[in-house]
Amino acid sequence: MDRFSILVGDITKSDAQAIVNAANTTLLGGSGVDGAIHRAAGPGLLAECRTLGGCETGQAKLTRGYNLPASYVLHTPGPIWRGGDYGEAALLASCYRSCLALAEAHSIETVDFPSISTGVYGYPMAQAAGVALKAIMDFLREHALPRRVRMVCHTEEAAEIYRQTYNMWYAGEKAERLLSPEDKHPSRGSGA
């Protein structure tokens, strides 16, 4: 899908209109990407987050970006991995859908995601990639906004897991789009 890509980078330097913060339920900062976003945004972000009353796991809330290049931050608390039998996949998918729906509601055209819950929350990267990509691709198929979504991985290893998962599930879609209508439905007289 032309509207989605995977890259390695520092999400705090993203040029997207909105970046996603893999937050905790207090929204008051933490470790990993959450701490990095709060540090880069400056004290205004924490002050605004204090007015939001936290956020439930799988939901999302919007703030300004303050000192970040991004105009907005979409905060979403991901699930803590407890073995996979406690609804973690549904909650993780909800994180992605909630952020995308909030972006659409605010006419945000470009969104960059980190790999939610795969740091200190311990969600296995390969499983998280499958959940994330399905949630993102399903949303993009049905909605015009956001126009561009990127998965911004902190390491090349993480990006490779996302790329392999994407290619495994969505390479068929890409090949299908490359075929012309004649290739998809050859005429009987073509000798094929």
Give the Cα separation of 76 and 62 in Å (integer): 9
Catalytic residue among 34, 85, 138, 183: 34
User: How many independent structural domains does the chain possess?
Assistant: 1
Residue span of the structural domain in which 145 resides: 4-190
pLDDT at position 179, please?
A: 47
Tell me the per-residue pLDDT of 93-143, one tens digit each, with 9 for 90 and over: 999 999 999 999 999 999 999 999 999 999 999 999 999 999 999 999 999
Pairwise CA distance, residues 46 & 131, whole Å: 29
Domain harbouring 40, CATH code:
3.40.220.10
pLDDT in tens, 28-82: 999 999 999 999 999 999 999 999 999 999 999 999 999 999 999 999 999 999 9
Q: 34 catalytic, yes or no? A: yes
